[in-house]
Amino acid sequence: MAARGNRKIIPVADPAALAKMAADRLAARISTNSGRVAVCLTGGSSPRQLYALLASETYRSRIPWDRVHWFIGDERFVLASEPLNNMGAARRIFLDQCAPASNIHPILTELSDPDASAEQYAGELKSFYGADQLDPARPLFDLVLMGVGSDGHTASLFPGDPALHESARWTVGVPKANVEPYVPRVTLTLPALGSCREMLFEAAGPEKRAILARVFGGDNLPANRARSSGETVWLVDQAALPESFRGR
C-alpha cells in the first residue's frame, strides 16, 4: 500500500480523455477484487461524462454489476427526484439502467434533517462494512470518486468547517454550504472517505486552475487533506493544470 500522503497527479488532454481514464481506472480497480466491490460516487458536474461512459456498451460489459455496490460521498439535502440531488443524477445517467436497485445506496433526504440523514447513512455504511470501526487493513471502499470546488472544498467538506476535524463519525450533516447550491448537505467525513484502496479526483476546465495551484501547493484545504489510505490520484486536464505542473 502506498504511504498515506502520497498523491499522484496525472495530466490528461481534455474532459473526454479524463472521463475515459477514470472509467478505465474504475474498471481496473473493480477487476482486482473478485468479491463484493464498493464504489463511492461524487456529485457536481465533473463526473457526468464518466457516468455516461459507464453506461456505454464498452464499459457496461466490463463491469460485474451484480457484485458492485454504489454509494455517494455527499448529498445535497433536496428530494431524490430533484435535479440537484447527486445520487439522483448518477441514477438517471447510468445506475438505473445498469445496476440492480439493491446495489444502489443513496443518502436518504426524505428524513427530518441532515443530521438524521447522516446518522441513517452511517448505519447503512457500517452494516455494509460489517463493523462500527474502520480497520486500516480492510478499506471500506474500493474506489472513492472526488471533485474539487472553487473554494477548495471536496465532497461537502468546506474550508473552516468543524466537520473537517471529525475523527469518529463516518458522516455528518452540514447545515450551510459555502458555495452554490446553497442547500444543506450530508457528507462523509475524511476518515470514511479515506478508507479506500483508491481515491480518484477529477478536475477539468480553466476555472479549476487557480484552486489546483493552491491545493497542489500544499494549502490547508479540504481537497488537499482528503487522502486515501491507499492511492490518491488526481486526473487533471490541460486547461485545469497549474502553470508549474505543465511539462512535468
Binding site for ligand 6PG (CB under 6 A): 42-46, 74, 76, 86, 147-149, 153-156
Q: Minimum distance from CB of 93 to ligand 6PG (Å)?
A: 14
| Cell, residue 123 | 448505519
Q: Minimum distance from CB of 147 to ligand 6PG (Å)?
A: 3
Q: Kindly state the DSSP code that residue 37 receives in the 8-state scheme.
A: E
Instruction: Give the residue with the Cβ less far from ligand 6PG, 33 or 238.
Output: 238
Bridge-based pairing of strands 231-237 and 196-203 is parallel
Q: Minimum distance from CB of 155 to ligand 6PG (Å)?
A: 5
Q: List strand residue ranges (DSSP E) for the chain, in order.
A: 8-12, 37-41, 68-72, 74-76, 141-146, 171-174, 185-188, 196-203, 231-237
Instruction: Give the residue with the Cβ less far from ligand 6PG, 122 or 177.
Output: 177
Instruction: Give the residue with the Cβ less far from ligand 6PG, 75 or 231.
Output: 75
Number of residues in the chain: 248
Residue 56 contacts by C-beta under 8 Å, 6 or more apart in sequence?
Answer: none
Tell me which amino acid residue 246 is.
R
Q: Minimum distance from CB of 38 to ligand 6PG (Å)?
A: 18
Instruction: Give the residue with the Cβ less far from ligand 6PG, 64 or 160.
Output: 160
